[in-house]
Chain A
Amino acid sequence: MRWKSKPPCSQKSQEPTSLSLCLRLFHRYRDLAPQLVPLDYTDKPAVTLPYELIGSMPELKDNPFRQRIAEVFSEHGDGNMTLDDFLDMFSVLSEMAPRDLKAYYAFKIYDFNNDDYICKSDLEKTVNKLTRNELTPEEISLVCEKVIYEADVDNDGKLSLADFQHMIVRAPDFLSTFHIRI
């Protein structure tokens, strides 16, 4: 499998994905819109499924981060995915992807403004998504400050990819929770 926009850390880890997983994913992709997706991909047709179809999949429809996930893996960052994007997404979220790769993509998902740092506003949006907007602004601010205080190693007020990966190392559940079974 090839990974979209290669992360700096694990370019060597090209895991051999099983052919059966590819075929299953292809059929799931096709089942979303059988009239749009051809069976024959030899001419590499430029077929893109809109975000609404992707977000309605049973594995994603209740996930509060589904929009961010689709945006991160889509080609133009708008949530509309080609087959390549679809396969990339589910292979990063499978159990075969290495920890560094998952950490890289989790970082991108939580980075709402795409500036390569998780700043306070990104954290606030994350907290809102995780708690269904039911916290007061003071509580949210308190939580975000606490998170930055704990995880920011180089003290620049925001979390870089290195800070995030350092935190992941201490969260052994990450590999099993950042995983969607398909």
Chain B
Amino acid sequence: GIDAAEDLVGSLANSCLSSSSLQSFRRFGNTLTEHFHQLQPWHKTLKIIGAEFGTSVLSYFIFLKWLLNFNIFSFLINFGFITIPQFLAAEPNNLSFTGLELLTGAGYFQQTVLYYGSYTNATISKVENSASYNMQLAYIFTVGTYFVICFLILLFSMARLFSRNFVNPQARSVNASKLLCTWDFNITNEKAVKLQQKNLLTQIKRQSAMLVLPVIVSLLNTLIPFFFSWLGHLENFQTPGQHIYVTIIRNIILKISIVGILCYYWLNIVATSESQCWETLVGQDIYRLVLVDFIFCLLGSFFGEFLRRIIGTTVCVSLGLPEFDIGRNVLDLIYAQTLTWIGILFSPLLPGIQMIAFLIVFFVKKVSLMRNCQPPCKVWRTAQMMTSFIFLLFCPSFLGVLSVIGVTVWRLKPSEECGPFRGLPSMYAAVAEWIQMLESYTAWKWVVWIYHNLISSELFFFIISTFVLVVTYLYWQIIQARRTMTKLLHNQIINAGKDKKFLLQKLQKVQRSKRSSSALGGRGQQVSLTAQLLLFNCLVQVHGVLQLCKQPAGLGKGCASNFI
């Protein structure tokens, strides 16, 4: 580690002490290694944001970067597996391009690879008698695989964050950890540091006031139980997190209702109407929604941050600079990603558009943050908020998308005249037909067997569900047992501490008497020997208690009491 680095630096320096050209080469090599680390996307930007505004605001940008990766991945696989083959079998586009299409998504774009409708249902083969490319299967398997991978990534991220950030949600050491563990060492901006200090000061003062009040009440000696319950009730609401949570929940309900109503409209009304190519119509709707949402996000930044700063510094100076509203912004991101996920089936290149939108949002938000906002006043429990956001991304958002996609693929009839699934009774029928075709090949019999007995068999899913439920129940019981064990061990530690204190006091007493009796003579020595044996026995027993982690219950009562 350090020695290797020292040697490298030393040897590099040694080898070019005299020659200036070698020196510049060395300098170039060093600069290159330095910059390689900083090529990690936006490393410097994130460092500056973290330094000026703290980890809570930084977590919004890290979440945005994380969502961007989902879109990049989706765009790449859709483009690679669906769009490029489509280019080989493309039909010429008869419509003309006017600028309006960028806003409406209709017109010229309707027959481009942007939408489901223009994809062929043929089996593409460029050269005769060579491997052919079944567009139907490619479409359904690409989208399906992407969603399975997303599901796994979200599930594992959530599980990891839950286990790390919700370890033992006892409110026991809230104050201690607030004091000793939440000081943000990242912040290097003097003003932000002062703000953190002021915030902590206010919290402590509030708490101390609450603590001083019961003293006054007991002095007054009236309505004591009422006051204590009122105090406890007040203390629950003192956390700034409560207000934020309520706002966020209202926001979530609103957005879920909007998306729910839209999906109902698309799946029940548009899909069953007699229109030409309903998937493309839905795709266009989603394109417009994504675009408008993006524009509103930028407008929100403009009004919420830029104009608010102008107002706060010129017209109404008491308002001051605005703060970066983390909750609202993260929910906007989740909403945008939900729309994109719904739209992947109907418009395979939509993630590419969302990717560009997210990039622009990143830069706009960063600039707006630096110019217009001040560091947050409230203390955010960042790790827990981020876990909640990813949980929101998974639970109503991703699972909702999965159910919409499920209904579309299994229940709805694809339009007759366009798209890769034209003429089939449902999109899933493409897979069923493929399996039927495979039955005639003996080499692929195992695939057919898996399909019939594992994927489309109800008995198998029943068995799997029962198994999962049993395992969950067992794990739940294990957690309960561990919780009990933790409580017992905690009591043991407390009792061991009491024993230690008692023994120390006894030792001090014995030493004092030894000192006084050594003035008197020999008898003191006899006493001290007995005392030492006593002490030794006790210490052995206490040591044994601490070692006996496997044995539960009542050992920790304290051996010292036996010797009293």
Contact = CB atoms under 8 A, between A and B. Distances in A.
A115 interface: no
Contacts of A110: 180
A132 B201 contact: yes
A81 to B, nearest CB: 14
A131 B208 contact: no
Contacts of A180: 185-186
B190 A146 contact: no
Contacts of A135: 201, 204-205, 208
B236 interface: no
Interface string B267-307: 00000000000000000000000000000000000000000
A19 B382 contact: no
Contact of A156 (B182, B490, B500): B500
A62 B185 contact: no
B177 A167 contact: yes
A154 B494 contact: yes
A9 interface: no
A172 B205 contact: no
Interface in A3-49: 14, 16-24, 26-27, 39-42, 44
A27 B5 CA distance: 12
Interface in A111-154: 123, 126-127, 130-132, 134-135, 138-139, 142-143, 146-147, 150-151, 153-154
A128 B273 CA distance: 71
Interface in B157-203: 164-168, 170, 172-177, 179-190, 193-194, 197, 200-201
B11 interface: yes
Interface in B1-57: 1-2, 4-11, 13-14, 17, 30, 33-34, 36-37, 47, 50-51, 55
* B47, B204, B382, B384: residue with the most chain A Cβ atoms closer than 10 Å: B204
A20 B32 CA distance: 10
B185 A147 contact: no
Nearest to A177: B184
Contacts of A142: 208, 211-212
Could you say which of A40, A110, A126 has the most chain B C-beta atoms within 10 Å of its C-beta? A40
A39 to B, nearest CB: 4
Residue of B5, B167, B188, B490 with most partner-chain A CB within 10 A:
B5
A18 B9 CA distance: 14
Given A63-B193, A146-B175, A181-B50, A23 B11 contact: no
B238 interface: no
A119 to B, nearest CB: 14
Interface string A146-176: 1100110111100000001001111111101
Interface residues of B, number: 69
B493 A153 contact: yes
A138 to B, nearest CB: 8
A167 B36 contact: no
Contacts of A75: none
A1 interface: yes
Given A40-B13, A146-B175, A62 B193 contact: yes
A25 to B, nearest CB: 9
A77 interface: no
B381 interface: yes
Contacts of B241: none
Nearest to B33: A20
B9 A177 contact: no
Contact of A151 (B8, B176, B185, B212): B176
B433 to A, nearest CB: 51
Contacts of A22: 1-2, 5
B207 interface: yes
Contacts of B187: 62
Contacts of A63: 185, 188, 193
A87 B34 CA distance: 16
A59 interface: yes
Contacts of B168: 169-170
A177 B178 CA distance: 12
A131 B194 CA distance: 9
A170 B174 CA distance: 9
Contact of B186 (A126, A139, A170, A177): A177
B167 A20 contact: no
B137 interface: no
Nearest to A16: B1
A180 to B, nearest CB: 5
B552 interface: no
List the 3 shortest-distance A-B pairs measured between CB atoms, nearest first: A42-B10, A154-B497, A22-B5
18 contacts: A14-B1, A19-B5, A27-B30, A40-B13, A41-B9, A62-B187, A123-B179, A131-B197, A131-B204, A132-B201, A135-B205, A143-B208, A146-B211, A153-B497, A154-B496, A164-B180, A168-B181, A171-B181
